[in-house]
Amino acid sequence: VNGLQARTFGVWTLLSSVIRCLCAIDIRNSTLYYITLFTFFLALIHFLSEVFIYHTAALTIGVMAPLMVASFSILGMLIGLQYLEVEAQSQKKKN
């Protein structure tokens, strides 16, 4: 890894964390919710590709931790998505 790659990965990680924090603040914003869900899919795909396609990372705790966080977050957000859609429908009925 050179300096440019390390800084690019750092900025990507920072951007993902900002998006995730904004979603936590405004969880009823469906657009932000989908963008946040997409960031977890990107992280999962990135780490899986580094391990299984490019073979640049080994399945150590340093790689397994982000894989588990992304996987559980995707699962939780997909479950939460059902409640978000139900709430949006009930809001439409009220109006």
pLDDT surpassing 80 at residue 1: no
Provide the pLDDT for residue 30: 93
pTM of the model: 0.88
Provide the pLDDT for residue 90: 82
Provide the pLDDT for residue 91: 80
- In whole angstroms, what is the distance from residue 91 CA to residue 84 CA? 11
Structural domain for 40, as ranges: 3-94
Question: Which phi and psi (to 5°) does residue 60 adopt?
Answer: -100, 180
Model confidence pLDDT, tens digit, residues 53-87 = 999 999 999 999 999 999 999 999 999 999 988 88
Count the domains in the chain. Answer: 1
Neighbours of 48 (CB within 10 A): 15
Model confidence pLDDT, tens digit, residues 23-40 = 999 999 999 999 999 999
